[in-house]
Amino acid sequence: MSINKRGEIAMNAEAFRRIGQPATVTLLYDEVHKRIGVKFPVPLDRNFFPVRRYGRDQQMRIVRAARLLKQFKLKIPQTLTYKNCPTIYLNGHPMLVLDLGHQTNS
């Protein structure tokens, strides 16, 4: 997975499968721990972000999260990549966690 300065979150096929391959996702931000959650959406969630196919073979997925970056005044100076993005469960639904403090810069 990765996030770039434009707020595009890219997921490989495995990461997308881990959250249930939804057409939209919910994005959450933990200001204390500086983490972004990419979550399987449920009806109680308020903001949904569409998931689009991406890449030469269309196996990658991309979520445009510029609204989230703007809302929380987040600056991503360069593309941040995550080799082992953890999956946690929030209220029984899978969520990928991007820790903005622990990544591999590219």
Write the CA distances from 24 to 2, 54, 60, 106, integer angstroms. Answer: 18, 14, 14, 27
Per-residue pLDDT of the chain (106 residues), as tens digits, is 999 999 999 999 999 999 999 999 999 999 999 999 999 999 888 889 999 999 888 999 999 999 999 999 999 999 999 998 999 999 899 999 999 987 665 5
Q: 35 and 29 in contact (C-beta within 8 Å)? A: yes
As a whole number of angstroms, the distance between CA 27 and CA 46 comes to 10
Half-sphere exposure (Cβ direction) of 54: Cα atoms closer than 13 Å = 17
- Rg (alpha carbons) of the chain, rounded to whole number: 13
Q: Look at strands 87-90 and 93-99 and give their pairing.
A: antiparallel
